[in-house]
Amino acid sequence: MDPTHLHLLLNHVPTVGFGIGVALFALALLIRSSDLKQASLAIIVAIALVSIPTYTTGNMAQATLEERGEVSDGTTEAMVTLSLIQTHEGAAFLALGFMELTGMLAWLALWKFRRTSVLTWGLGGTILVLSLLTLGLMAQAANLGGLINHPEIRGTEEATSFIGHFARTVGDYVRDTPWTWIAAETLHFIGLSLLIGVILLIDLRVLGFMPRVPFKALDRLLPWAMLGFALNVFTGMLFFAAAFGQYTNNPAFFWKLIFVMLAGANTLYFTFDHSWANEPGRDASMISKAAAVSAMVLWVGVMYWGSMLPFIGNAF
């Protein structure tokens, strides 16, 4: 399986899967089902995570097509043009940004729901409107991707999008402007410090350290961890857009993505795991402790493979 196949395998998830999640969330708001609200929000968060490798494998698929000589400058109708690929990339880049913002708010809603058992209409309505907008952007990106994969449905004129070659514009700006990469690196490490610091405190509490620290005190810190993760995703998108060739041929990047997906799933598990939310002095369950140990291993793996990016594969 090459990156093109992997992209084709994943690219239906942010459209079909997200559409299912949004439909369930709208139904949950309509019938006022708490269980369905939580389930649909969890689906939205999971789809937001999967959208990251879906986007990155798109650039890998582009590189594969270029190596095969299947990308033209527009003079050969049977071949896909670079302009169409970059139009699809720009639409996907914008959709990914909205998808991650929606996923972040969905996780925040899950966090608030666990604390209060109530999802306010303001937050629920915001997530629904943002989800519908994201679904429309994803549908546009998917339609452009279909034109790449199915030459028989292309028109005689080049397909365009209101966003244009947005990803290339952003990437060129980040790469060619001296201060942007340095500023993004700084924000990336600040976000990583927020994320790892909060997760480490919670994991240590679950494992029996700081037994007198109340759960509620640590639970209030979780949004800071989400803010750190959001900073990492945002700056990571900028890095990838600026120099995707440095990542698509780098095995360390593949491993980092795998560890990020697993660590994100672990964090989502803790959102629903109430057994570790004990009163001061009480011990957490063995399942919670196992999840805490795996969380530390996974996030250390994310940091390790991120630090190995310049040394494995094609160095920066």
Where do the structural domains in the chain lie, given as residue ranges? 1-164, 168-316
Please compute Rg for the chain using Cα positions. 21
Report the alpha-carbon distance of residue 111 to residue 119 in Å, rounded: 10
- Residue 209 CB burial class (10 angstroms; 0-12, 13-18, ≥19): exposed
pLDDT at 202: 87
Closest CA to 238 of 180, 306, 191, 176: 180
Report the alpha-carbon distance of residue 79 to residue 32 in Å, rounded: 50
Beta-carbon contacts of 107 under 8 Å, excluding residues fewer than 6 positions away, are 41, 45, 226, 268, 271
Report the alpha-carbon distance of residue 214 to residue 205 in Å, rounded: 9
Closest CA to 110 of 175, 172, 161, 38: 38
Supply the pTM of this predicted model: 0.87
Strands (E), the chain: 71-72, 80-81
Contact 266, 291 (CB under 8 A): yes
pLDDT tens track of the chain, all 316 residues?
566 778 888 888 888 999 999 999 999 999 988 889 999 999 999 999 999 999 988 888 887 777 777 776 655 555 677 788 888 889 999 999 999 999 999 999 998 888 788 888 888 899 999 999 999 999 988 888 877 776 666 655 666 667 778 888 999 999 889 899 899 999 999 999 999 999 898 888 888 888 777 777 888 888 898 899 999 999 999 999 998 888 888 888 889 999 999 998 888 887 777 665 556 666 777 888 888 899 999 999 999 998 888 888 665 5
DSSP at 248: H
pLDDT at 270: 77
- Which amino acid makes up residue 43? I
Helix %, strand %, coil % for the chain, to 5?
Answer: 75, 0, 20
- Which amino acid makes up residue 238? L
SS3 letters across 282-296: CCCCHHHHHHHHHHH
Report the alpha-carbon distance of residue 306 to residue 208 in Å, rounded: 29
